[in-house]
Structure 1
Amino acid sequence: MTTTSAPWVYPTFLAHRIGGTLAPENTVSGIDVCVKHDYRMVEFDVRLTANNVPFLMHDDTLERTTNGHGMSNEWQWIDLYNLDAGSWFGEQFAGEKLPALYQMGIVCQRHDILANIEMKSCPGNERRTATHVARALNMFWKDRWPLVSSFSQEMLAVVRECAPDFPVGMLFKDIPADWKDIVKRLDCSSVHVKHTFLNAEIVKEMHALGLKVMAYTVNDVDAAQALLSMGVDHICTDRPDLLRC
């Protein structure tokens, strides 16, 4: 289906939010978890600062995973970078920084780790976020073939237009009736679906369209084996210590 020039080089298992439940999410410390458990691919979330720097953060707001407060898109990058993004998880991670997208590219390259970059946005900021993510991809991620995903069709359309060399994956919580029209319109390479909505029949339909299928977020060995048996290509997990590559 897709017209991207990127090769499909992604391993079966990837670590959700970089370190899963074993390190503070969306931080460089999670890379150590991946190296320890022989994972070669991570998934992480990217959103935009007030001064247009793409950085790693899942939530719209800062309180859950940092010592900051308020909406993340209202902060300048220098102020976000000075936050503590590790103490909430454990004292040993005190002082952990929020990485920028370009910084994580350097870290992934150093450790030979691939990435699934999930774009997120505060409401109304979708197009601007995707535009600056696409610019960062073109500047810092060439030849490293990140897989770019989002729940937002608008954001994926921007990436297809502004960074066409990179494969994109459509994220679904469940599977809408018009899923085939969506993935065709966006020229997707993959579909990422909450694992409880997948079965062998729908996986076969997705494969018939030339799509790869990723299941999220799978933290049980038996569930992972069942998904692989039905033909699922990739599994995103919080437990790289349990699901072995």
Structure 2
Amino acid sequence: MKIIAHRGNKRYAPENTMAAFYSAAGYDVDGIEFDLQLTKDLVPVIIHDPTIDRTTNGRGSVSSFTLNELKQFDAGQRFHDSFRGETIPSFKEFLLWASDYSFTLHIELKLQKSNADLLIRETVKDLEHFEMIDRAVISSFQHGYLEQIKSLNPHLETALLTKTPIFRAVKYAEKMSADGIHIRYNIQNSRFFRRWSNKGVPVRAYHVRKPGQLLLCDKLGVSGIITDDPRAMKSAAERILK
């Protein structure tokens, strides 16, 4: 069972910041999940929301600022004053740091109202430049993005990201050039999880927060969990999984 830190160690550090990623890496997680979208000057940066309102001391859409402008906003103080000075990381900044580790990169591409093709191309190009194609899994709720990723580099692993049940999921995944499925652990009948896993499709469950949920995922053949609390889930896995 792989333990993947959702937006870094977001329970104990401000999400999608280098502080959260450092913290997650300290627990020797199997993967770190984060979100990508483009700035005004078309640089991929790591942030979840389309605006900076919730996670920084600024206001406005991510796409309305250049990278240098975004770096002026504080992305840590709202979480706790001890994180004052944390900034929104660029993708390249993260990749440079991640080069010293071995965890898998779980990259969620966010919806882009414009320049989606450029976000996809820049993401693939940066992974190739840092020689991390074999360490990356790219997912998105925008399933059409996955076909474009595969057309640029067929060696990249991709995954459908879904909030709702999927009918004939394996066939649909194949149609959308997806290698795996990322799905909330409790939104589909358990027999489908087993069926997908038995067919060799990687299934990763998100919003797993409790030991009982972890145990259920293990019984269903889930290959990894995406969790807000990697420390607790690592401890639970060592304690209850054989």
TM over 0.5: yes
Q: Distance in 2 between matches of 1:141 and 1:116?
A: 15
Q: Distance in 1 between matches of 2:97 and 2:123?
A: 17
Q: Tell whether 2:225 aligns with 1:222.
A: no
Q: Distance in 2 between matches of 1:56 and 1:224?
A: 27
Amino acid at match of 2:5: A
- Counterpart position of 1:104: 94
What is the count of residue pairs matched by the alignment? 235
Q: CA RMSD in A?
A: 1.8
Cα displacement string for residues 84-140 of structure 1 (whole angstroms, at most 9, x for unaligned residues): 111111101101021111111121122333210111133344333222222222222
Query: Which 10-residue stretch deviates more, 122-131 or 22-31?
Result: 122-131
- Check 1:120–1:100 CA distance in 2 against 1; reply closer, same or farther (3 A cut): same
- Counterpart position of 2:49: 59
2:150 to 153, 156, 160: 160
- Counterpart position of 1:234: 224
CA displacement at 1:141 relative to structure 2: 4.2
2:110–2:140 Cα contact (<8 Å) kept: yes
Q: Distance in 2 between matches of 1:40 and 1:34?
A: 10
Percent identity between matched residues is 26
Query: What residue ranges of structure 2 are gaps of 5+ in the alignment?
Result: 238-242
Q: Distance in 1 between matches of 2:191 and 2:164?
A: 15
- Counterpart position of 2:203: 213
Query: Which 10-residue stretch deviates more, 196-205 or 167-176?
Result: 196-205
Secondary structure, aligned partner of 1:148:
strand
- Counterpart position of 1:171: 161
- Counterpart position of 2:30: 40
Output aligned runs, 1:1-245, within 5 Å. 12-142=2-132, 144-244=134-234
CA displacement at 1:166 relative to structure 2: 1.1
TM-score, normalised by the number of residues in structure 2: 0.90
TM-score, normalised by the number of residues in structure 1: 0.89
- Check 1:187–1:143 CA distance in 2 against 1; reply closer, same or farther (3 A cut): closer
Which of 1 and 2 has higher RCO (CA within 8 Å, sep 6+)?
A: 1
Secondary structure, aligned partner of 1:242:
helix
- Check 1:106–1:222 CA distance in 2 against 1; reply closer, same or farther (3 A cut): same
Query: Which 10-residue stretch deviates more, 57-66 or 125-134?
Result: 125-134
Query: What residue ranges of structure 1 are gaps of 5+ in the alignment?
Result: 1-10
2:146–2:177 Cα contact (<8 Å) kept: no
1:127–1:154 Cα contact (<8 Å) kept: no
Q: Distance in 2 between matches of 1:50 and 1:177?
A: 38
